[in-house]
Structure 1
Amino acid sequence: MQITETLAEGLKREYQITITGADLEARVNEKLVEAQPEIAMKGFRKGKVPMALLKKQFGPRLMGEAMQEAVDGAMQGHLDETGHRPAMQPEVKMVNEDWKEGDDIVVSMSYDMLPEIPAIDYKAIKLEKLVAKPADADIDEALQNLAKNAQNFETKKGKAADGDQVVIDFVGKVDGEAFEGGAAEDYPLVLGSGSFIPGFEDQLVGVKAGEEKAVEVSFPEEYGAEHLAGKAAVFDVTVKEVKKPVAAEVDDELAKKYGAESLEALKGQISERIAAEYSGAARQVLKRKLLDQLDAMVSFDLPPALVEAEANQIAHQLWHEEHPEVHGHDHGSIEATDEHKTLAARRVKLGLLLAELGQKNEVKVSDAEMTQAILMQARQYPGQERAFFEFIQKNQAAQQQIRAPLFEDKVVDFIVELADVTETEITKDELKAAVDALEAE
């Protein structure tokens, strides 16, 4: 076996690997000798099949296995000897495609190496940690919103307006015939809620208690019941009562509706929730400022293949965001722009840097942290949580997608702990402006 370097340019490496025909034949013979005692063929007892016949019967398949094992072994041996860490899976191609049994096999192997990452002086990193505390006005605003959501309805005189509730009896008919599921009594309908088919609620704005009205509508073409989809219908409606919305009182009763023991307890819960939201927003700002500093203070060569793959992924993702109507991937090719490539270079650089810092400092994501993250994502699929959890357990790529951001955040926390950090108290509006500025960049 012979390995010859054919390219060493920056992080790019290419090699030519030659495996002799004699080596391949020896591997095949070794496999045949190992398998011979267990093989039985017509006319021969188990373990007594002649080697020549075995080679004729199984040789071609075993030769393929021997080639793969020889190439894999040569590649791994080379990496162990040189200490190279490929940025992506090495690309291996057959050179002598006209190979026949007995010939040497020649393959080319190419890859981009991971670069050497320079050390970081954590104390040279200076960060400002923004701190915003919930104000009484913030808590009062949240309470008022909860009261609106917990609104009641009281009987009113006069015409129904948008946002009012009408209590109605109705019977729906298509072609003069009542249809199943098209009738109800004492149904409370909030006008403007969009809970009925388009056009129904609009025609009840202005009705009074005791009034009867024929509401003429058409079912949408994509309506769930096929026998009604796209058809015109008339609903005979009797208005029994008109009610106006009344916000709930901000008191202990409101608190109990939201699972708190008292109004003070509810205020405490709201304060904690707002504080958590502010802390999360402030962390976004802190993390961006940290990454900006790391990007500026560290420089090293980037694996071209990684940058290209990341740029293509960014271009593909943004294209789909601009064309939400396209759900598949059977579209034409999408070219990465210079802007995509610049963003990709930053992401690859920071990704490699954080990975190296995390590895050197033994930052790890625990099993408990992974389980918690998986459970949180599983909640996005009501009724399918178990299936989602089992899918993640069996899928290494899906696990990595969950683990990667957890690992990155833990590395960020590690760096922040060692950096020179000062705290600055700010208002909610100032925090919002800081977050908006991130999104504008």
Structure 2
Amino acid sequence: MQASVEKTSAIGRKVSVVVPAEKIETAVQNRLKQLSKRVKIQGFRPGKVPMKIVDQQYRGTATNEVLGDIIQNSLAEALEEQKIVPAVQPDILPEQLEKGADFKYTATFDVYPEFEKLNLEGVKIVKPESEVAETDIDKVIENMAKQQLTWVERKRKCKNGDRVMLDFVGTVDGEEFAGGKADDYAIVLGEGQMLPDFEKGVKGMKGGESKDIDVVFPEDYNEELGGKTAVFKIDVKSVSEGKLPEIDEDFVKGFGIDSGDVADLRAEVKSNLETNLEGQLSSTIRQRTFDALLEQNSAEIPEKMVREEAGRMVEEQKNQMLQQGIDAKLLENFPAPEFETLKPQAEKRVALGLLMMEVINKEGLKPDEDRVNARIEKMASSYEDPSEFVNYYKSNQQALAQVQSLVLEEQVVDLLLAKADVEKEEVVASELLNMQ
């Protein structure tokens, strides 16, 4: 066997292999002998068919069957000899095989890229730090109270924060348009449910009042209405003011806290906020660390790996939509995004995965068992039966592997940050958690 390697790009390789005719013929003859033991040809007993006839009728079948094994074995031998490790499954292009002639084929593939720097020595990383404030707890409880908001009808002009029940009909040049009509439609003024001109026109009206208002649609609204002015006939049926519940014992018990003590509710809210904040802080520093690692390691990434990752991204999106309750039948005709649209993110994910693998292999990292156990225990703490949760994760290899992967990722981040120039930054918890 002869093999030669051509470098087609920074990571692209083309291996040309020549397998001697004698080796091919020997393999074909051995395969024909195996076939002769079970082929059935009229006039001959099983196992007694002359090899000449078997050769005439089954050479093509035997050749096709052995070529797959020959390609697999010869390519493995060539790659080992050349000390090449493909990053993806090679694409094989065989030449037409002629009887008595050497067999030739080429294998094209990408190898793993070589990265320049696998640490962040001297690289500045801003690490956010934050604590939950009493005002953050107040904000959460306020939002909890808003979930139990009740509406009380008022005989006055409406203002921001009021719920207005109304009928409306919109026309452009005297003609009604699709979506421009509704009965018993409720809007809360100031929440931006409707266009600004619409809310401005409704504000100040009372129950039982009617009037026409002009509404200008934004240029980019849609092809039919963009930039046009519509006239809406508004009939206000009622105006209601929101009434928040008292933060008392009944309110607290409504959220599953049997003591009914507001202090216990605040403690529960604080604990949840701290958990969320810890996760957000960890996510932010992890992202900044990995972005810094990517910035100093620009390299060509195997496109086949990128395309496979893009495919996984599409499946992830579909699964998320299914979890949100979207009908699976609707997703059957769901158009997949173009590869070029997904390519930048897919390329980033693949590059980061390869970089992490390099760091892990170079440093000989393995999941820290204590950290794995601690993470599982923490995850279990929010369940009614923590021990059952822990036992499931420790007995389910797939579930355990997911936790081990997360812990290993944390260890990579810790390792990278240890050599980075870390600068701490105080961040307001409510901003980090996007609290409204």
Q: TM-score range by the shorter chain?
A: 0.5 to 0.7
- Counterpart of 2:302 (choices 301, 306, 315) is 306
* Aligned 8 A contact 2:3 2:18 in 1: yes
**Residue 305 to residue 416, structure 1, CA distance change in 2 (3 Å):** closer
Which 5+ residue runs of structure 2 have no aligned equivalent?
Answer: 166-183, 192-200, 211-236, 318-332, 380-395
Q: Does 1:256 align with 2:263?
A: no
* Aligned 8 A contact 1:365 1:407 in 2: yes
**Residue 139 to residue 108, structure 1, CA distance change in 2 (3 Å):** same
| CA shift for structure 1 position 247 | 0.8
| CA shift for structure 1 position 25 | 2.4
Distance in 2, matches of 1:163 and 1:128, equals 40
1:328 aligned residue: 335
| CA shift for structure 1 position 73 | 0.9
- Cα offsets for 1:56-111 (capped at 9, x unmatched): 333312211211111111111222333322122223222x34x3333322111233
1:147 aligned residue: 145
**Residue 271 to residue 8, structure 1, CA distance change in 2 (3 Å):** same
Identity of aligned residues (%): 19
Distance in 2, matches of 1:9 and 1:365, equals 39
Distance in 2, matches of 1:52 and 1:113, equals 45
Distance in 2, matches of 1:156 and 1:430, equals 34
Letter in 2 for 1:55: D
Which 5+ residue runs of structure 1 have no aligned equivalent?
Answer: 168-186, 195-201, 214-238, 377-392, 436-441
The secondary structure found in structure 1 opposite 2:37 is helix
2:366 aligned residue: 363
For these two proteins, the number of residue pairs brought into alignment is 350
**Residue 335 to residue 6, structure 1, CA distance change in 2 (3 Å):** same
1:272 aligned residue: 271
| CA shift for structure 1 position 164 | 6.4
2:222 aligned residue: none
Greater shift in the superposed pair: 277-286 or 151-160: 151-160
Cα-Cα RMSD = 5.8
Letter in 1 for 2:335: G
- Cα offsets for 1:349-398 (capped at 9, x unmatched): 543221112234243599xx9xx99xx9xxxxxxxxxxxxxxxx9xx9xx
| CA shift for structure 1 position 143 | 0.7
The secondary structure found in structure 2 opposite 1:69 is helix
2:99 aligned residue: 101
Distance in 1, matches of 2:424 and 2:410, equals 23
Distance in 1, matches of 2:409 and 2:251, equals 38
| CA shift for structure 1 position 246 | 1.0
**Residue 348 to residue 117, structure 1, CA distance change in 2 (3 Å):** same
| CA shift for structure 1 position 33 | 2.4
Letter in 2 for 1:328: P
* Aligned 8 A contact 2:126 2:425 in 1: no
* Aligned 8 A contact 1:363 1:407 in 2: no
Q: Does 1:246 align with 2:248?
A: no
* Aligned 8 A contact 1:129 1:421 in 2: no
Distance in 2, matches of 1:4 and 1:21, equals 18
1:412 aligned residue: 412
Q: Summarize the alignment of residues 185-224 of structure 1 with structure 2, pairs less than 5 Å apart.
A: none
Letter in 2 for 1:86: P
Distance in 1, matches of 2:205 and 2:9, equals 78
TM-score by length of 2: 0.59
